[in-house]
Structure 1
Amino acid sequence: MTFAVSRTAATTGPGAGGTAGGPLRWRAAGRLAAALPDVRGRDRVTGWVRGTPRFTGPVHGRLTNGMAFELADCCDGSARDLVELCYRPPALAAVFDTVLRPGDCCYDVGANIGVYTLWAAGAVGRTGEVHAFEPVPEPRAVLAALAARNGLSQVRPTAWAVGATTGTVGLRRHPGASGLTHQVPAGDTAELTVPTTTLDQHATRHRPPDLIKIDVEGFELEVLLGATELLRARRPAVLLEMLPSHLARRGGRAQGELVGVLAAAGYRLFNLTRRGLAGQGEFSANVLALHPGWARFDPVVAALRRTPFPRNQTT
């Protein structure tokens, strides 16, 4: 993967208007994606408009919540997605907007270049905190630069991976697709070895979270196994990816074990569907786990029951 981030200071703060910089086709695809109804074939149409991504940069603009970005190159797919996010919020933004309040704390596990870190930072404000766990140096550098560009002192980037135990873990990277970086089983060849912590341990030294977002390409179970005390004692909302293709890296029983950990802690799982929050049916690409004993359970469920989520929940 390749990233280069402009270090030029922002001249306006979050909330100011702005336009996306990048190829005309990319901007047109972004506007089209924001305007078209969420039906099958939409991604195919917008992908055709966008075309083959030969353009390598620069790109600049603002997310719909006003957070600014400027990258000198965009060889990575996560960076290219930023142009589209100038015209629509990221797919899971409504969860952050509904769950988080000013002064809250969010743990972003698998933060990548920081799209949801920036979104959470806007929701918790200057008195809150966002702990962004991203062990891969290149996307973490982008995340840190974007936080600095927007003056987000509430963002705490960390180089640690998160797992069931402390120690080290091997990672496999995908050139041009930083969002697909994932852990490799013990004994397999790794391109990068990084230190690991657990959320239980992290929360003893830092502010505990009100929301945990987990996107670690199939190793969500390990993260939860290292957070059992935090789930029991604090009952934070948990937003996690549940793609079967990713969970398959852990074996056929991974999904059942993951659900079992949350159920043992008293959580209920909700699907994020095109009609809103749903408590039944096949699991959606991402699920929201909430504890009925959490003080915000009823208002959050009531609000999200009426909130549609897009079919494609990857960005």
Structure 2
Amino acid sequence: MNVWLTQVLPHTDVVWDVGANDGYFAYGAAQAMHAAGKKGMVIAFEPGLDNPEFASTLVTPSQWPQYQDSQFTFVPQLVGATCTETTTTLDAAYARYPETHSGRSLVKVDVEGAELEVLAGAQQLLAAPHHWVVEVHGKHLLDPVLNFFRDAHRPVTVRELTPHWLLGREQRTIPTVWVTTEVPNG
């Protein structure tokens, strides 16, 4: 996974972090874009932002000096197949942020089993030449996730969890893989 991210992030202008949790991916991506000489924009979706302590954990680092050149937007909504008061779609969010349309995006999805709902609401982004990494939680979701990419004519790779060189294999109760869009050669 790290090799793929190393290939993709230097050419990324916008990161859509769906399921941002504590911001680990969002801030790592911002740092990688900055290292590649890009300002970097991160749009992080996390419904737990109504909890002040949790919100502080996610939002506070965006004020740190190393992120002063990055632009962060925190969206306190779930991402799904339809828009409601508490849920948006990626396509609706994409329309809401037209400043993201001119650059290459990386869409990261880590939604603990709601992958199909997120992809159903992302037809416009799936059709565009953006990079995707979707963490698929459960073998039963893999084929339906792959179908979304197949229908959008997007070649993908399924990546298994690999053991950490020092810590060994990560223990998970639900089988998990990553689906990533292929990076063109050259």
- Normalising to structure 2: TM-score of the pair? 0.76
Structure showing greater relative contact order (alpha-carbon pairs closer than 8 Å, 6 or more residues apart): 2
Whether 1:164 aligns to 2:77 is no
CA distance in 1, matches of 2:8, 2:96: 23
Contact 2:12/2:105 (<8 A) preserved: no
| Cα 1:103/1:215, change in 2 over 3 Å | closer
Whether 1:285 aligns to 2:177 is yes
Q: Aligned residue for 1:220?
A: 115
Deviations 1:116-173 (A, max 9, x none): 10111012225220111111124333111112124524222211211111004xxxxx
Q: Aligned residue for 1:115?
A: 24
Q: Aligned residue for 1:205?
A: 96
Q: Aligned residue for 2:62?
A: 147
Q: Aligned residue for 1:66?
A: none
Contact 1:102/1:128 (<8 A) preserved: no
Contact 1:198/1:227 (<8 A) preserved: yes
Deviation at 1:102, TM superposition (A): 6.1
What is the CA RMSD across the aligned residues, in angstroms? 2.4
Deviations 1:230-255 (A, max 9, x none): 211x22111011231xx7xxxx5x43
| Cα 1:95/1:103, change in 2 over 3 Å | closer
Give the structure with the larger helix fraction: 2
Amino acid of the residue matched to residue 116 of structure 2?
Answer: L
CA distance in 2, matches of 1:147, 1:262: 32
Q: Which runs of 5+ in 1 are unaligned?
A: 1-91, 169-194, 276-282, 291-295, 300-315
Contact 1:96/1:123 (<8 A) preserved: no
The structure number with the bigger radius of gyration is 1
Amino acid of the residue matched to residue 134 of structure 1?
Answer: E
| Cα 1:108/1:102, change in 2 over 3 Å | same
| Cα 1:284/1:218, change in 2 over 3 Å | closer
CA distance in 2, matches of 1:166, 1:239: 22
| Cα 1:93/1:150, change in 2 over 3 Å | farther
Counterpart mapping for 1:68-83 below 5 A: none
Contact 1:105/1:211 (<8 A) preserved: yes
Amino acid of the residue matched to residue 297 of structure 1?
Answer: P
Amino acid of the residue matched to residue 82 of structure 2?
Answer: T
Counterpart mapping for 1:189-200 below 5 A: 195-200=86-91
- Normalising to structure 1: TM-score of the pair? 0.47
Contact 2:12/2:106 (<8 A) preserved: no
Amino acid of the residue matched to residue 62 of structure 2?
Answer: A
Deviation at 1:257, TM superposition (A): 2.1
| Cα 1:150/1:135, change in 2 over 3 Å | farther
Contact 1:108/1:213 (<8 A) preserved: yes
| Cα 1:272/1:150, change in 2 over 3 Å | farther
| Cα 1:160/1:102, change in 2 over 3 Å | same
Counterpart mapping for 1:1-315 below 5 A: 92-101=1-10, 104-125=13-34, 127-137=39-49, 138=51, 139-152=54-67, 153-168=70-85, 195-206=86-97, 207-208=100-101, 210-232=105-127, 234-244=128-138, 252=140, 254-273=141-160, 274=162, 285-290=177-182, 297-299=184-186
Amino acid of the residue matched to residue 255 of structure 1?
Answer: L
Equivalent residue pairs, number:
162
Q: Aligned residue for 2:170?
A: none
SS in structure 1 at match of 2:47: coil
SS in structure 2 at match of 1:167: coil
Deviations 1:79-126 (A, max 9, x none): xxxxxxxxxxxxx44433320226611101000010010111012225
